[in-house]
Structure 1
């Protein structure tokens, strides 16, 4: 494993601090706190981590802010209203539409594509990747992986030129504050098809189980366990591909839920610790000696 780099791709969800596209795509912005804490705990091993962010909030936030300003004198501008508007409009806008001028789905996926291409240039076409996806970002990454895999199913060809960009070197998928189940009610439970394991091009010892870990605070009404969402996810739990992990964000439980706490996963010790543990587990794994 000497010299092996691990790409860590993070993607935000609703109520993100990523209000504009970073001028410097190298330096973390909304995930800076998490990156600093993880790197500090990794020690010297942090030198082998390439941390990349997918930022997409700037695609929608200018429209949201413009509307909030227009209604300020009619409704007030309390944080809860801004959060609900952001959350609902992010979800409503992130869908496939026929009008290319409003194809938010494709614009956001283009950001993911750009990030994966830049990462491949840094760690190599077969470099391993750990994905950290918050909130709606989990749904975005799941859809992105599904679309890339579906392209192969439909055409028999890979969509991109390397395994990393074809989402075949994803060693781990860690979702937190995930709301994927919310998007599944339009489908019959038995018809839902999950993403396939996105690490098929990795060496055997790099295929860490479970490859999908889903963290959620029981008090966070925007975060849900994946296992009960559909039979296919329940089977993934049984097969030890998926693990739902309940957690507590560390703040005292308030009488009324504060929607802004949905973003607290980024800096919470209960989220930092498993990220560090997974990275160490990945680097500590050794190839099985040949007979």
Structure 2
């Protein structure tokens, strides 16, 4: 690509509930890179997995050990409670707790997970550049974590422990100012908004300083068979304004037609991959076009 303008895009992948591994994102990242090489080879992805499962896994393992002596029914046959602890336990453990008269402010899982998020964004800023466009691809509970982290970031609610991480480099990317794309897959955000009478306030995507430039998007993917996934544009006028599209997809896989079997298929969906690739390529074309126009004006003057 000699002589061509290369655009580095920082891409953070955020996994969801259940058993996960640190390399959960590699397959999807590789699929995006392969397709981009065909559509827009000038784009270079800098992928990073925002892995947090080990934080909740340790606590869930302790609970299972405490329950072991009771020999509860179904555990030996299909490990039903193990499934519930891993699947539902992540969501329960993540919930933020009241801060009034807090005896142990550093022990919340919510903050521990958000600290991991901040460190991964810091890594992306170092690899891709402090001003690189930021694309976040989240799944399941990871969509809630991503939304909460960005909301706290955009509304001045970041706690001191995480603020200290951001302030070390203090880059625009880590401050969320270069956020262009957000993709939510199999998202239960609609359920989380039930905590608010008006379904709450959505985050800003693209970031506020990028609004009005027609660069970036928030797209929500859902499979009708996936009982954890819901459309979100319809929640309120605010969500309708910030979410560009709710896109129904048909996830691949042998169990994709079942209520839970469809939940993990987004990572392998050609429809999801293609939408993300086309949007990132479109951003490259718009950015380079703007740069060319600016350069032409400078030369003319």
TM-score, structure 1 normalization? 0.82
- In structure 1, C-alpha distance between the alignment counterparts of 2:79 and 2:267, rounded to whole Å: 19
Is 1:39 the equivalent of 2:33? yes
- In structure 1, C-alpha distance between the alignment counterparts of 2:280 and 2:81, rounded to whole Å: 38
Give 1:16 shift.
4.3
Give 1:246 shift.
0.9
Give 1:268 shift.
2.1
Aligned counterpart, 1:249: 251
* 197 and 152 in structure 1: CA distance in 2 versus 1, 3 angstrom threshold: farther
Is the 1:83–1:259 Cα contact (8 Å) retained in structure 2? no
TM-score, structure 2 normalization? 0.79
Give 1:202 shift.
4.7
Choose from 176, 182, 192 the match for 1:183: 192
Aligned counterpart, 1:273: 274
Aligned counterpart, 1:74: 72
Give 1:251 shift.
4.1
- In structure 2, C-alpha distance between the alignment counterparts of 1:55 and 1:166, rounded to whole Å: 20
Choose from 45, 49, 54 the match for 1:53: 49
Give 1:203 shift.
9.5
Aligned counterpart, 1:25: none
CA deviation digits over 1:205-262, x for unaligned, max 9? 6713xx10000001100001111223421343xxxx421111111346778x352431
Q: Quote the RMSD (CA, aligned, Å).
A: 3.0
- In structure 2, C-alpha distance between the alignment counterparts of 1:114 and 1:83, rounded to whole Å: 29
Choose from 143, 156, 174 the match for 1:151: 156
- Superposed counterparts of 1:129-148, under 5 Å: 129-148=134-153
Query: How many positions carry a matched residue from both structures?
Result: 271
* 80 and 133 in structure 1: CA distance in 2 versus 1, 3 angstrom threshold: farther
- Superposed counterparts of 1:1-291, under 5 Å: 2-18=5-21, 22=22, 29-43=23-37, 45=41, 48-68=44-64, 70-71=67-68, 73-75=71-73, 76=75, 78=78, 81-97=81-97, 98=102, 99-100=104-105, 102-151=107-156, 160=167, 161-189=170-198, 192-202=200-210, 207-208=215-216, 211-236=217-242, 241-251=243-253, 257-285=258-286, 286-288=288-290, 289=293
CA deviation digits over 1:137-187, x for unaligned, max 9? 11111111111111189xxx9x74221111111110011001111111121
Is the 1:91–1:136 Cα contact (8 Å) retained in structure 2? yes
Q: Which runs of 5+ in 1 are unaligned?
A: 23-28
* Structure of higher CA gyration radius: 2
